[in-house]
Structure 1
Amino acid sequence: MGRRAQPEIKDRILDACTDHALTHGVPDRLEPFVTATGTSARMLIYHFGSRDALLQAVLAQARRRHLDAWGDLLRPRPDEPYPATLARAWTSMTGPDGRPFLRMFNRLRESAEQQLWPDFRRQATTDWLPPLEEGLRTIGRPELATLVLAVIRGLLLDLDATGDATRTHAALEHFLATL
């Protein structure tokens, strides 16, 4: 008779691995997750089945956190014009709370981890269209969601590549003024 499944342990392990990956990046080996969780590689495999399954679970958990956090930032507020909401969201996305997501998912977009989530690039784009459409509807321009997303994503890539926060922040302010 095998051990009874203990989902609370698996959830705790997944949370610790996700926290580690957001802080330090997705590791190539299990050892950093072993250290982060205080368990063994054998227990990680026991709970997740394989290294790749663990990495997929970590990426999925990080993406859920990402969608929750940034989805809330993009949600329209009745007391705020939507361009101001976008400006505030940008500040948070590019600040300390948002950087771990940017690091992880920018690397995922361009690295070997792409094989762990083959459809990531499409999902990482289309996931943001509904909240942007909802917000832009408040100013009568939901059809601009793709344009706004393209500008924000382009500026995020620019910021990641150059580190020039002053220039990218100014570019976003100029863009938002056109809305």
Structure 2
Amino acid sequence: MGRRAQPQIKERLLDLCTEHVLEHGLPDRLEPLVAATGTSARMLLYHFGTRDALLRAVLQRARERQLEAWGGLLRAREGEAYPVTLARAWAAISGPDGERYLRLFGQWRDTSPQLRGADFARRATTDWLGPLADGLGADAGPELATLVLAVVRGLLLDLDATGDAARVDGAFAELLARL
């Protein structure tokens, strides 16, 4: 008789693997995740099926953490101009707290198609449109939310590629001034 699935163990392993990947990046082998979880490769495969399935689950969990952490930062606050809200969000997203997500999702873009998953990139983009559109206001329309998101994503890519925080922060300040 086979062993019964224990979802709490799988969740704990997923959290440990996610934390490891956020700190160190996507591994090309299971061994770093084995060490991070204190379990065996056999147990990781038992719970997740394959290395790629485990890494897809890790990426999804990292994305959920990112949404939880930053989703609230993008929401409009009563009595606060939305550019002020965006400036606070930018500081978190482009600062040390955001660096590990930026690094991980940059590494993810360079991975094989089977690891990327068919719908992950679309969802990872469109998840931010709702809070941005709400914050920018009904008069702004979805086009402005799309433009702001595209600029933010481009600036994050620029920051990742160049490390020139002063220039990139200045460009973001220019965006806020034009809003």
What TM-score, normalized to structure 2? Answer: 0.94
Provide the rounded CA distance (Å) in 2 between the counterparts of 1:49 and 1:120: 19
Equivalent residue number for residue 71 of structure 1: 71
Distance of 1:124 and 1:10 partners within structure 2 = 24
CA distance in 2, matches of 1:80, 1:30: 47
2:120 corresponds in structure 1 to 120
Map Cα deviations across residues 122-149 of structure 1 (whole Å, 9 max, x no partner).
22222211111011117x4243101101
Residue 18 (structure 1) shift = 0.2
In the other structure, the counterpart of 1:42 is 42
C-alpha separation between the residues in 2 aligned to 1:73 and 1:45?
Answer: 36
Structure 1 distance, partners of 2:111, 2:49, is: 23
> Where does residue 14 of structure 1 map in the other structure?
14
Shift of 1:71: 0.9
Output aligned runs, 1:136-151, within 5 Å: 136-137=136-137, 140-143=139-142, 144-151=144-151
- Percent identity over the alignment is 65
Question: In the alignment, what sits opposite 1:30?
Answer: 30
One-letter identity of the residue aligned with 1:108: W
Letter of the 1:69 counterpart = A
- Is contact 1:134–1:142 with CA below 8 Å preserved after alignment? no
Paired residues, what number? 177
The 1-side partners of 2:150 and 2:176 are apart by 13
Unaligned runs of 5+ in 1: none
Q: Which residue of 2 aligns with 1:83?
A: 83
Distance, in Å, in 2 between the alignment partners of 1:142 and 1:104 is: 31
Q: Using the TM superposition, give the Cα deviation of residue 25 of structure 1 relative to its aligned residue in structure 2, in angstroms.
A: 0.5
AA of the residue aligned to 1:37: T
* Worse overlay, 1-10 or 83-92: 1-10
2:60 aligned residue: 60
C-alpha distance in structure 2 between counterparts of 1:123 and 1:110, whole Å: 18
Aligned-partner Cα distance in 1 for 2:61–2:122: 18
Aligned-pair CA distance for 1:6: 1.0
The SS at the match of 1:98 is helix
Whether the 8 Å CA contact 2:17–2:58 is kept in 1: the answer is yes
Offset of 1:56 from its aligned partner?
1.1
Match in the other structure for 2:108 = 108
Give 1:57's aligned amino acid.
A
Q: Which amino acid in the other structure matches residue 71 of structure 2? A: G
Instruction: Please give the TM-score of this superposition, normalised by the length of structure 1.
Output: 0.94
